[in-house]
A and B are shown apart, each in its own frame.
Chain A
Amino acid sequence: MIQLSKNYTLPEREEEIIPIKIVGVGGAGANALDRIVLDGMEKADLIAINTDVQSLASSVAAHKVQLGRAVTRGLGAGGDPEVGQQAALESAEEIRPALANARMIFICTGLGGGTGSGAAPVVAQIAREAGSLVIVFATLPFSFEGKRRTAQAHAALGRLNQIAHAVICFENDRMGDMVAPKAGIHQAFAMADVTISQSARSIVNLIQRPGLIRIGFDDLLTALRSENGRCLFGFGESDSDNRAHDALRQALKNPLMDKGRMLADAAHVLVQVTGGPSMTLSEVEILMQELNRQVNEHTQILFGTAVDGRMGNRLAVTIISSLRAEIDVASDVAAPLPVPAPIWEQPQEAAAKIDILPQPPVLAPAPAPDLIPFEPPPPAAELPPPIAPVEKSRSRVIMPRKKSEPEEEPKPARQKFGQAKQEVLQFEPVTRGRFEKSEPTIIEGQDLDVPTFLRKNIRVK
């Protein structure tokens, strides 16, 4: 007879190490990078890129790239994006090896100045060509810094939006809401860096933690996919008695979330709940119930959960989502860019680039490694070439549609995921009777408003 041992355990799921690089572009980028180092992100390579040698020298990043030796001669870009861009283009060949071999590249930058606004799009372009997932954290200048700076920042933001997979944008003006009115100005500035660091860290954790319900690259892409839209991001952590509620509230409080109001318009919302071994099902359930109240009923929720011993008593919630822009700005220009150029497309791409980058030749010969690990377009994209040249004049209109084909492809997988999620989430319908609408009493991870006999699974009658 065969006997099955009942106390077997599944092999521990290994943490998947994904090569990640974090790039700080410009002065603000370097500051953000410093903060990330302070907060401890040992899993990622940090690269500082700047025109200003002094700032570069004081950066803690292991890898440094100086931009525009000839153009700026080691000085800053002087607030002129043109100069920043020139400098970046000049040093493109130095940037490229620095960004190679990463599946995911975070670019932190402050827009509005010279290096940030000018060089960041170039860096993003190079990163994208290297076949990585590119997520940009950008800070927008304070409105008191003047209209011109704001205009420069928005122009750069527009470009980044077209190039990167996702742009998470922090408005400095809103940092005031996050710190106490009496807090020192350094604290307010530090807040922006802290938010960036926290966001980067939680995205990395999100992907690398072996989860009970895993969130993968594909889910992240889905959540972040927006045409020129706005990224919503929230992170909350709590170890109080009512930690599920508190963590969620904190996440929704994030300045990027606009108190959760914006979630109502989001098409996809990615939620990851991480806790120590003490995290209970009912906590997760309560949290998701509360979140569901914030989102539209058609919203697809990509849910993931992970147990991490290092979390101890804490419970953390990460919410990532994106809003569609009202007007689909320039998606025809944007579309060709991200796909690293099958050869037949070359002339068209160059044409498109001229719209964005006045001086593309340096970038154009990019020997694009043509495999992007997280997007499966090559087969689909290579099929239609015979048609493309014929329709060259119209191709701008058609291109986006073609591009959308490969993008559509992961959808069935996602829907399957969605269904799986529902199965998991359909717990025993836990009812709380007259306490349905009141604030839950959660002690030791149990929702005590639920009748004891239900929680202890004791059959009465």
Chain B
Amino acid sequence: MASNDLVVGLEIGTSKICVVVGEGRPDGTLRILGVGQAPSRGVRKGEIVDFETAMKCVHEAVVDAEQKSDVMIRSIYVSVAGGHIQSFNNRGCVMVPEDRDEIDEQDIEDVKVSAREVSIPASNAFLHSIIQHYHVDGQDGVLNPVGMLGEKLEADFHIIHGVRNRIQNTIRCVKELPLEVEDVVFSALASAQVVLTQHQKNLGALVVDMGGGTTDYILYVDGAVKQSGVLGIGGDHVTNDISMALRIPMARAEKLKLEEGSCVLGNCLPGETILLKDDSGFAGKEIERETLNTIINLRVREIFELLKRKLEAEPFINYIGAGVFITGGCSLLDGIEHLAGESFEMPAHAAHAQTIAGLTSAFENPQFSTAIGLIKYAQAVQAERPARGFRRLIGKFFSYG
């Protein structure tokens, strides 16, 4: 039955809500059937602030997706973002029972639980524990220890956690529709699934998902997640800066940013101006192009520098081989890869979903990276754990259903 392989990803973003319907094929590839979207209201900085309104918008987007892909959506994967999400690396350790010397699935589960035995604030819940590497009796870099002989199994995990109630809000928003929530996924983790190839993950890469309200990042080294997090700044801040500096309404500032704005300075003629037209098409205010670009440049540069400082707290940024990949709505800003390359001092690319088939108009748009990434993530999870496992673990922390 085809609907079994149907996976749906929902991203509740600050500027838009986007639903991607995908179909997993027997050969393991993914095809996008349709994309639904709706402008987002009631969301600030990646978090829901007006529940009712946000719910209506999600509903709109879901209906849109159902119409475009001609399927009934019942269950959904949801991404979460927001400044409250934090992460750290931790090592778990278990001893293999005396009566056997072969490591089995149960030990893997146990070591995961032991890695989670760290104190996070009481109000927080675990989102992900992502395996980095296993160590068996001190042997490093084991990728899959099942079946190996050993006494002591250790595992490094990257653990992502966030404020429970805020995550629950997102889940509730979907459940009220009503739709089944299959899983919640940290948005940058989802984006990375489609923006990066396995090869790039192995080389080491940084994915920066710059959305409207937040900038989410995730750093891969040696194919494993080493650092991740969220900065509560995004494209809205750029727009806000423009609106305040030029004293124009937000909507006008947003349009100006998209149509005329650039992150690169010194790229225009001295004194070159942009004529702002008012609603009736008459000439209104005149602004200097360099002014606009300076405002954008200052803000975006600051975001990158802040991010770089955050990443430099740990050594992993030095092991990036493939470079920086910028995705999300903000990556459409002209010259952003140039600025990112300058700030991070490494090759930078504006990237969109790569490893997927179907509607090109959908996957070539970096705004959909997270939602597409969700279905890729879902596919990977479903393949790996047919029935239980992940759901069971997650279910402990989010009791939905």
Contacts and interface: CB of A to CB of B under 8 A. Distances in A.
Interface of A: 431-435, 438-439, 441, 443-444, 448-449, 451-454, 456, 458, 460-461
Contact of A433 (B231, B233, B244, B309): B244
A456 B236 CA distance: 19
19 contacts: A433-B243, A434-B240, A438-B49, A441-B233, A443-B231, A448-B233, A449-B237, A451-B244, A451-B245, A451-B299, A452-B295, A453-B295, A453-B299, A454-B244, A458-B298, A460-B294, A460-B295, A461-B287, A461-B291
B250 interface: yes
Given A434-B250, A443-B231, A458 B299 contact: no
Nearest to B83: A441
Contacts of A433: 240-241, 243-244, 250
B237 A448 contact: yes
A453 B246 CA distance: 12
Interface of B: 44-45, 49, 83, 231-233, 236-237, 240-241, 243-246, 250, 287-288, 291, 294-295, 298-299, 302, 306, 309
A452 B295 CA distance: 8
A443 B245 contact: no
Contact of A453 (B45, B245, B250): B245
Contacts of A448: 232-233, 237, 302, 306
Contacts of A431: 244
A460 B237 contact: no
A453 B240 contact: no
Contacts of B237: 435, 448-449, 451
A451 B232 contact: no
A452 B298 CA distance: 6
A435 B294 contact: no
Nearest to A435: B240
Nearest to B236: A434
Contacts of B291: 460-461
Contacts of B250: 433-434
A458 B232 contact: no
Contacts of A460: 245, 291, 294-295
Nearest to B242: A451
Nearest to B246: A461
Contacts of B231: 441, 443
A443 B306 CA distance: 8
Given A433-B243, A453-B241, A444 B295 contact: no
B88 to A, nearest CB: 15
Contacts of A461: 245-246, 287-288, 291
A439 B245 CA distance: 22
Nearest to A432: B240
A444 B49 CA distance: 25
Nearest to B234: A441
Given A434-B250, A461-B245, A451 B240 contact: yes
Contact of B299 (A438, A439, A444, A452): A452
A451 B295 contact: yes
A458 B44 CA distance: 27
Contacts, number: 67
Given A433-B244, A434-B250, A458-B294, A441 B299 contact: no
Contacts of A449: 237, 240
Nearest to B250: A434
Contacts of B241: 433, 451-453
A142 B244 CA distance: 56
A454 to B, nearest CB: 8
Nearest to A455: B302
B156 to A, nearest CB: 25
Contact of A452 (B45, B288, B302): B302
Nearest to B231: A443
B312 to A, nearest CB: 13
Nearest to A180: B122
A217 B313 CA distance: 43
Contact of A444 (B45, B236, B287, B306): B306
Contacts of B45: 435, 438-439, 441
A434 B309 CA distance: 27
Q: Quick one: which of A434, A454, A458 has the most chain B CB within 10 A?
A: A434
A75 B236 CA distance: 71
B299 to A, nearest CB: 5
Nearest to B240: A433
A269 B243 CA distance: 37
Q: Sorted from nearest, which 7 A-B pairs have the closest CB atoms?
A: A441-B232, A451-B241, A433-B240, A452-B298, A452-B299, A438-B44, A461-B291
Contacts of B240: 432-435, 449, 451
Given A434-B250, A441-B45, A461-B245, A456 B298 contact: yes
A63 to B, nearest CB: 41
Contacts of B302: 448, 452
Contacts of B299: 451-453
B161 to A, nearest CB: 15
Given A444-B306, A453-B299, A461-B291, 9 more contacts: A441-B231, A441-B232, A449-B240, A451-B240, A451-B295, A452-B298, A453-B245, A458-B298, A460-B294
Given A431-B244, A434-B250, A435-B240, A453 B232 contact: no
A435 B232 CA distance: 11
Q: Quick one: which of B49, B241, B287 has the most chain A CB within 10 A?
A: B241
A454 B295 CA distance: 10
B234 to A, nearest CB: 10
A434 B294 CA distance: 20
A377 to B, nearest CB: 51
Q: Quick one: which of A441, A443, A460, A461 has the most chain B CB within 10 A?
A: A460
Q: Quick one: which of A443, A448, A452, A461 has the most chain B CB within 10 A?
A: A452
A433 B250 CA distance: 9
A456 B302 CA distance: 10
Nearest to A461: B291
A441 B83 CA distance: 8
A432 B243 CA distance: 11
A438 B232 CA distance: 11
A434 B233 CA distance: 13
Contacts of A453: 241, 245, 294-295, 298-299
Nearest to B122: A180
Contacts of A443: 231, 306
Contacts of B233: 441, 448
A278 to B, nearest CB: 14
A270 B287 CA distance: 47
